[in-house]
Copies of this chain bind each other. A is one copy, B any other.
């Protein structure tokens, strides 16, 4: 192949189909005690019949090499009856159009063309024969062997931390929660091997009730071993493994192959409280384990891609790995294809989280090209949502919809106030996207709808006496139930007046009579909002007590749900199953987000962190330091009660802080904002050292 300054050839496919096909595979991996437990929603599928096109202009003829996933035929200049299936082809000089049909009913049809100048990539177009020529999808697959269907996560061997015999059978402890494939080295003999897995010791010691298990025939397994090692087919989530083998079976030792996405830990946080540091690290690890082909809810169960769960993972990811590949894959897989008959994951709120997640993606990355590629799918999803508004204009669940909000004992019939706020926020996102697309009419229309829904929600749900938003409204009558949820979102979305904010903080968030939140899922929002209300110290204590409480119970990753009032093994049950609870659940990793966004205090002020804000808040800590990734750069923050050190590598920041005395900074101008507030402009590449006096 000739040398060339062209970008490398990349495998291309119909946009979204790589992600949708991958999701189809992942969504059926869950097994409950060895039996498949597929996702209970429609799984969308890749188009099997796809066509690609590209127009080139070459001064001389060029030999190209063609590789495809599926069968292909190549057509020059639309001459449909004269096709080539050869793996090499000479393109004539001059300006010509190449069209390549690819069919595959197994994997998403994909194409790799390698020439000195003509090479597949994002400048090719793809169509599913629906008048839908779009820029082709592509990623990092760039050789005939490194092809989309062979996408696999990384693996590395791990040894158990300890092995002991329990009831005469080996019990392996890997020291903390992990995920991967159990392996047997030098397996010999004949008989059955039963493997029981546990996220907790209680689970692994309950062969009749543990969630994950394997059973295999030792002779067959021995024969299937490679280099003396037999690796089980299905990866599992576990810390403990208990191996029950028939007497005739032996092996040297067992280990595992850890499967993971190689992520860069770009975010960091370290403070004067070792317990908080431990919580932060455990949060990162919990998030990492759930950051896979997609952002999953939990690695033991469900191993599914849930939009509301992913919404939080996206945010945590912006403050830790800043991995946009898994973010985009998740957004595309969640959206799937039309026609829409049910909501995302069957949940009304989860359709709304998708829009908000998409907006967050734009805010944190500034990558509008991705939004543009999926804008049409956002429009049809919003059309679908808007169709089911009630006579009053509220979004209500249909009989087939799941209105989730949270795992809690409340009634979600009728119009739920939280749902209306999520819809308003989604409409604001759509309005922004439409404006960026250049469709001002649509932008105005979405914007007006958002305003109308917001206004009507406050009109019908705000309770002046109770000082917050009531939960739901049935048959035109607002019910007296008060929950924290709608008020949380109203606050985080900036929908409250200063008076309402104060009222919500005192009368809802901190009021003991409003039902407590039990899931880390909503604790995530609750803690964030408390920070927004300046209650950092309170949040620090809650984190220590709630997340710290799990650690005290032996957690090595954070859980799906935690109720401090439960006793012993009762912690592990959920869904009516003794070990139904997921002990490594992405939404448990909230502190990763809280510390980065509200303690280090770094947030984008404009898309892609072109401008940003740093508002460090010690929240009762003696000192803290850490970094927040901003996509094109990093912001480092170090703070104690008398000094601040800020460094940003990209974009223009503003450091805003409170000081009891006039602060000093050699590197930048300190601008007093009135009261105790000050700010300093932060240029990229410079370190700002500030002496000040923290207001405790």
Contact = CB atoms under 8 A, between A and B. Distances in A.
Interface of A: 24-25, 27-28, 32-43, 45, 47-49, 51, 71-73, 80-85, 101, 103, 105-106, 128-132, 338-339, 341-342, 346, 400, 575-577, 580
Most chain-B CB neighbours within 10 Å: which of A38, A45, A339, A341? A38
A105 B43 CA distance: 10
B28 A341 contact: no
Question: Which 4 A/B pairs are nearest by Cβ-Cβ distance?
Answer: A131-B400, A35-B83, A130-B341, A43-B49
A339 B38 CA distance: 24
A121 B168 CA distance: 50
A6 to B, nearest CB: 28
Contacts of A106: 105-106
Contacts of A28: 49, 71, 103
Contacts of A575: 81
Contacts of A41: 49, 129
Given A130-B342, A131-B341, A131-B400, A103 B42 contact: no
Contact of A40 (B38, B39, B82, B129): B129
B342 A129 contact: yes
Taken together, the copies of this chain in the complex come to 2
A80 B45 contact: no
Given A42-B129, A129-B342, A339-B339, 4 more contacts: A28-B71, A35-B83, A39-B49, A130-B341
B341 A83 contact: no
A72 B36 contact: yes
Contact of A73 (B37, B101, B339): B37
A36 B130 contact: no
A37 B84 contact: no
Contacts of A130: 42, 341-342
Q: Is the interface of A mostly helix, strand, loop or mixed?
A: loop
A341 B39 CA distance: 28
Contacts of A103: 28, 36, 38
B32 A341 contact: no
A686 to B, nearest CB: 54
Contacts of A72: 36
A45 B338 CA distance: 13
A548 B669 CA distance: 99
A38 B84 CA distance: 13
B81 A577 contact: yes
Contacts of A346: 129
Contact of A32 (B37, B43, B83): B83
A110 to B, nearest CB: 16
A132 B341 contact: yes
Contacts of A129: 40-42, 342, 346
A39 B50 CA distance: 10
Contacts of A36: 71-73, 83, 85, 101, 103
A37 to B, nearest CB: 7
B34 A85 contact: yes
Most chain-B CB neighbours within 10 Å: which of A28, A47, A85? A28
Contact of A37 (B80, B131, B400): B80
Nearest to A47: B42
Contacts of A32: 80-83
A580 B81 contact: yes
B45 A105 contact: yes
A400 B577 CA distance: 55
Contacts of A339: 338-339
Contacts of A39: 49
B43 A45 contact: no
B48 A43 contact: yes
A111 to B, nearest CB: 14
A157 to B, nearest CB: 29
Contacts of A73: 35-37
A41 B103 CA distance: 12
Contacts of A42: 47, 49, 128-130
19 contacts: A28-B103, A32-B80, A32-B81, A32-B82, A33-B83, A34-B85, A36-B72, A36-B103, A37-B73, A41-B49, A42-B47, A42-B49, A43-B48, A45-B45, A45-B48, A81-B576, A130-B342, A131-B342, A339-B339
A339 B336 CA distance: 13
Nearest to A128: B42
A85 B213 CA distance: 14
Nearest to A27: B49
A80 B400 CA distance: 18
Nearest to A72: B36
A681 to B, nearest CB: 51
Nearest to A74: B35
Most chain-B CB neighbours within 10 Å: which of A49, A73, A130? A49
A35 B577 CA distance: 56
A639 to B, nearest CB: 48
A23 B275 CA distance: 62
B48 A24 contact: yes
